Amino acid sequence: MRALIQRVSHAKVEVAGELIGQCGAGLLILVCAMQGDTEAEADKLAAKIAKLRIFKDDAGKMNRSLIDTGGGALVVSQFTLAGDTSRGNRPGFSTAAPPADGERLYLHFAEALRAEGIVVETGEFGADMAVSLVNDGPVTLWLDTAG
């Protein structure tokens, strides 16, 4: 699985102008299931993100995790993270998981984060979503369970 995480002061996702998910201080997590991914990859990614020390401690160092801060997470499916731009100018998405697998693993990932004690809200799988955020730092990281 792949994820692009952004430390945010707040983030929200809307579908057709309706707010469907949001979080305050915490993480916006854009996530993509890849072909061959299983629940094990989703669990591994969720555990890593929940414990990733990218929030400032009292000395101003990135030394605290989402668990430590009690921050929330907004999880949004984003199959375009599978985009391959190595040939030509149009990205290919053939390495993304098929939609049914992608949705199942996306929902499993969100549940795995909740199991880590994180308050999680989500977008809507497959929908045309408008995501808004204020990136704090900015801090943005790419994670991939394959590498």
pLDDT beyond 80 at 62? yes
Sorting pLDDT into bands at 50, 70 and 90, what band is 146?
Answer: confident
Distance CA 109, CA 120 (A): 10
Looking only at Cα atoms, what is the longest distance across the chain? 48
Domain residue ranges of the chain, discontinuous segments joined by +? 2-87+99-136
Catalytic site residue from 78, 109, 122, 145 = 78
Provide the angle, in degrees to the nearest 10, between the axes of the packed helices 99-115 and 39-51.
40
Total-model pTM: 0.96
Q: Is 70 exceeded by the pLDDT of residue 147?
A: no
pLDDT for 97 equals 97
Residues 73-109 have pLDDT tens digits of 999 999 999 999 999 999 999 999 999 999 999 999 9
- Active-site entry in 6, 22, 55, 80: 80
CATH superfamily of 2-87+99-136: D-tyrosyl-tRNA(Tyr) deacylase (3.50.80.10)
d(CA 22, CA 8): 11
Lookup result for tokens 């907004």 = 74
**How far is residue 54 CA from its own chain's centroid?**
15
* Contact in structure between 74 and 23 (CB atoms under 8 Å): yes
pLDDT classification of 114: cutoffs 50, 70, 90: very high
What pLDDT does residue 135 have? 97
Q: Which of 6, 55, 79, 122 is catalytic?
A: 79
Taking only the tens place, the pLDDT of each residue in 21-60 is 999 999 999 999 999 999 999 999 999 999 999 999 999 9
User: Would you call 6 a catalytic residue per the annotation?
Assistant: no
Residue 22 a catalytic site member: no
78 is catalytic: yes
